[in-house]
Structure 1
Amino acid sequence: MRLPLSSAPAPAWLWNGDEPSVTSVFQPIVDLLHGEVIGHEVLSRGPGERREPQVLFTQAREEGYTWELERACWTSALRCISTLSDEQRRAPFFFNVSPDVLSDPRFGDGSTVALLARYGLKPGHLVLEITEKAAFEDIELIQRLTRQCAAEGFGIALDDFGAGHSGLVTLVHSAPQFIKLDQALVRNIHRYSYQQHLVKSLVAFAASVDAVLIAEGVETWDELAVLLRLGIRHVQGYLIARPAPAPVRPNGEFEAQRHSAMRALDFREHEDDETVGSMVIRRLCMDAATPTGDVQGLFANASQLDHVVLLEGDRPKALVTRQRAPARDERPLVVEDRMAITTLARVAMKRGADTVYDPVVVVDEQGSFLGTVTMKQLIHRSTELLERRTSR
């Protein structure tokens, strides 16, 4: 529902009756390890000469129509999202929300959740991006608002991190699930060691608080290569895909380049590093079409069985573990046999809390299934390699 800021009707460049005058475009956020889309940022475009967001939002703020503009942007986007397939809506949608709108009583009075429900959506479909460029002055307020939004089911992200002066304060008190690096920290990062050291420290921080760090504004392969080396796994920008009227996936050319870039990280960092292939054990696997009951029966009849890999042909399709059977994980960690053990140890430990101790599926260069490596194996061997290196 559109909620007017005052009794005066909104101008036509915002609303034409009940129709928003703005349009929505979508830009994917990609997991570089798997090439999967983990979310889509929703961006707004105004009509005519107000097409650029900076022009559109500046005019709305100057004329006192910020709320009308935000509601127009949301309505336009939600209408579009409601027409998408379930698969296209699998990843959440990231919406920019300025502090003044988030703190407006009308945002939290239930009308926003009602607007979502009108289009068959829930708060879990959305991540609210709080921009650092317009910071909260009331710290207690941001704590209360972000907790309230999280309790309703919204995801929370801190946008443009590094662009303003209050980012650390906002970060500490909003405890976001996602931290989006401002493109100023990403631009030409391959040329400046200071930026690299800063981003590397943020990677370590994000990992310690279990937040997903996303690099925005990635435009060149030189930038991407350095971000990968520093530990950045999630990216967004023109290099991956330009904003489009409907959610898109990166094209085949990007996927091929991404795969090559990831393989470049697999080489051994030290002479005594070993590759994952030396640890692989070919364990029980079944056809992906196997009925769930048959898979469940395997665990009941084999007390030592820890997990089963389901294959389509010779390629891994899903992983079933005893702990979560009969649920199938169709996105297990899959790596090539040439990856260094120490590299895999770092990658594996960055998984979410519910899958961090799952076995790792190993394939060859063509993607054919070779076997699995358990976390017990991995931790034991990587520790041995580290101790051998430090004892010299």
Structure 2
Amino acid sequence: MSPPSSSTPAPAWLWNGDEPSVTSVFQPIVDLLHGEVIGHEVLSRGPGEWREPQVLFTHARAKGFTWELERACWTAALRCISTLPDEQRRAPFFFNVSPDVLSDPRFGDGSTIELLARYGLNPKHLVLEITEKAAFDDIELIQRLTRQRAAEGFGIALDDFGAGHSGLVTLVHSAPQFIKLDQALVRDIHRYSYQQHLVKSLVAFASSVDAILIAEGVETWDELAVLLRLGIRYVQGYLVARPAPSPVIPNGEFQARRHQAMRALDFREGTGEDDETVGSMIIRRTCGDAGMSAEDVRRLFHDTPALDHVVLLEGERPSALVTRRHAPSMNDRPLVVEDRMAITTLARLAMKRPPEWLYEPVVVTDAQGVFLGTVTMKQVILRATELLERRGTR
């Protein structure tokens, strides 16, 4: 695709004929609970002396080529994304969009949708990150623009939250699906209680409005451990993976240490004298083989009227959960926890599941991943409430 027409031709440091001069790199955003990548932020690199993004965009703004640069970045990224395997293209890609570009009439005139379609993509593949460092002066404008883009199918994220003066105003009026904490709030958070209290309050706020809170710029395990304790589930940063020319997943070393950090958090609450672990509530339920067909599942529920759910096993390990309400559909990613997890921890974790799976039973294993049984959400909620009430009377 040729660069957008303009009264002044785009310079070579932006476009070389039909080829954008910028390149794209990708950094994963990871779900700490499962270790899975939920999306990739797309970052741009310029040629030569303009390689660093801050230098590149500052130079483009000074020369009046902000729109041309934005279009070059998008074109380079979409070309790369279009060549990825299907499973990698499904994860949303987060694109930084400055307020002046988002409010440019050319962004909403259909050309952006056309550019996506040219590479076999649509708005549902993208999340627009509105940077908080650049303020919207017109509140009605930001409401209108974000609603229009959301109606087209784009996800909306507020980037760099906490870095500027206008964040709360922008947050209220853009109603983003994603809130990305600026790295200034993350850096050395294990050293400063003030930052910790602030982030904890933002976790509660994000949960109340069903927004996904992502911590950016995570670089150390000390930072990650505190973020986990405060309730942060999604992270991005050098600790997870550095930006790369194509999307990557965290390496085995990260996954092993992530698992250790999760275990330490899960069992931290189980040390109090009035705490109990999930193992005290386990009931061994009916199991099936992972190879069962949909018809086999239907027959099992038909022949066993009292059966509420069944766990499908591969050997001794759980592979899926089927409930009577959803049968014969299987959930191949049920919530699986170890028997040593504190009940109060599980209660909070279970309530963060998607609405359709919110009240599913929880599958319980031992430390080696061997299936032990399940607990129902009624059991969890009742027992967690009893424990909390007991603490409150002391």
C-alpha RMSD over aligned residues: 1.5
CA apart distance, 1:286: 2.1
Question: Following the alignment from structure 1 to structure 2, what is the Cα–Cα distance between the partners of residues 316 and 306?
Answer: 17
Give the structure 2 partner of residue 365 of structure 1: 367
CA contact (8 A) 1:5 1:68 kept: no
CA contact (8 A) 1:276 1:337 kept: yes
Q: Which amino acid aligns with 2:196?
A: Q
Larger deviation, residues 360-369 vs 52-61: 360-369
Give the structure 2 partner of residue 16 of structure 1: 16
Question: Following the alignment from structure 1 to structure 2, what is the Cα–Cα distance between the partners of residues 341 and 199?
Answer: 24
Question: Following the alignment from structure 1 to structure 2, what is the Cα–Cα distance between the partners of residues 104 and 307?
Answer: 53
CA contact (8 A) 1:157 1:180 kept: yes
Give the structure 2 partner of residue 387 of structure 1: 389
CA contact (8 A) 1:2 1:68 kept: no
Aligned residue pair count: 392
CA apart distance, 1:326: 3.1
Secondary structure at 1:185's aligned position in 2?
helix
CA apart distance, 1:49: 1.2
Q: Which amino acid aligns with 1:355?
A: W
CA apart distance, 1:391: 2.5
Question: Following the alignment from structure 1 to structure 2, what is the Cα–Cα distance between the partners of residues 286 and 182?
Answer: 46
CA apart distance, 1:2: 5.1
Give the structure 2 partner of residue 271 of structure 1: 273
1:88-127 equivalence runs, <5 A: 88-127=88-127
1:14-53 equivalence runs, <5 A: 14-53=14-53
Cα 1:153/1:324, change in 2 over 3 Å: farther
Quick one: which of 317, 336, 353 aligns to 1:334? 336
CA contact (8 A) 1:362 1:370 kept: yes
Secondary structure at 2:158's aligned position in 1?
strand
Q: Which amino acid aligns with 1:220?
A: T
CA contact (8 A) 1:203 1:213 kept: yes
CA apart distance, 1:269: 5.4
1:207-286 equivalence runs, <5 A: 207-267=207-267, 268=270, 270-286=272-288
CA apart distance, 1:309: 2.2
Unaligned runs of 5+ in 1: none
Secondary structure at 2:86's aligned position in 1?
coil
Work out whether 1:166 is the aligned partner of 2:161: no
Secondary structure at 1:224's aligned position in 2?
helix
Give the structure 2 partner of residue 316 of structure 1: 318
Question: Following the alignment from structure 2 to structure 1, what is the Cα–Cα distance between the partners of residues 14 and 308?
Answer: 58
Secondary structure at 2:59's aligned position in 1?
helix
TM-score (norm 1): 0.96
Work out whether 1:351 is the aligned partner of 2:331: no
Work out whether 1:152 is the aligned partner of 2:139: no
CA contact (8 A) 1:158 1:171 kept: yes
Question: Following the alignment from structure 1 to structure 2, what is the Cα–Cα distance between the partners of residues 278 and 230?
Answer: 26
Larger deviation, residues 176-185 vs 311-320: 311-320
Larger deviation, residues 222-231 vs 307-316: 307-316
Unaligned runs of 5+ in 2: none
1:134-213 equivalence runs, <5 A: 134-213=134-213
Question: Following the alignment from structure 1 to structure 2, what is the Cα–Cα distance between the partners of residues 331 and 96?
Answer: 31
1:27-81 per-position Cα deviation (integer Å, ceiling 9, x unaligned): 1111111111111111111111111100111111111111111111111111111
1:251-272 per-position Cα deviation (integer Å, ceiling 9, x unaligned): 1111111111111112215321
Question: Following the alignment from structure 1 to structure 2, what is the Cα–Cα distance between the partners of residues 304 and 109?
Answer: 58
Secondary structure at 1:354's aligned position in 2?
helix
TM-score (norm 2): 0.96
Question: Following the alignment from structure 1 to structure 2, what is the Cα–Cα distance between the partners of residues 218 and 42?
Answer: 17
1:305-338 per-position Cα deviation (integer Å, ceiling 9, x unaligned): 3222222222222222333333332222221111
CA apart distance, 1:87: 1.5
Secondary structure at 2:170's aligned position in 1?
helix
Question: Following the alignment from structure 2 to structure 1, what is the Cα–Cα distance between the partners of residues 237 and 23?
Answer: 20
Quick one: which of 289, 292, 299 aligns to 1:290? 292
CA contact (8 A) 1:45 1:51 kept: yes
CA contact (8 A) 2:3 2:10 kept: no
CA contact (8 A) 1:5 1:65 kept: no
1:98-142 per-position Cα deviation (integer Å, ceiling 9, x unaligned): 111111111111211121111111211111111101121111111
Cα 1:89/1:326, change in 2 over 3 Å: farther
Give the structure 2 partner of residue 4 of structure 1: 4
CA apart distance, 1:354: 2.2
Question: Following the alignment from structure 1 to structure 2, what is the Cα–Cα distance between the partners of residues 106 and 296?
Answer: 54
Question: Following the alignment from structure 2 to structure 1, what is the Cα–Cα distance between the partners of residues 324 and 355?
Answer: 17
Question: Following the alignment from structure 1 to structure 2, what is the Cα–Cα distance between the partners of residues 297 and 150?
Answer: 43
Question: Following the alignment from structure 1 to structure 2, what is the Cα–Cα distance between the partners of residues 54 and 164?
Answer: 16
CA contact (8 A) 2:3 2:72 kept: no
Secondary structure at 1:148's aligned position in 2?
helix
Secondary structure at 1:136's aligned position in 2?
coil
CA apart distance, 1:303: 3.5
CA apart distance, 1:86: 1.6
Question: Following the alignment from structure 1 to structure 2, what is the Cα–Cα distance between the partners of residues 231 and 2?
Answer: 46
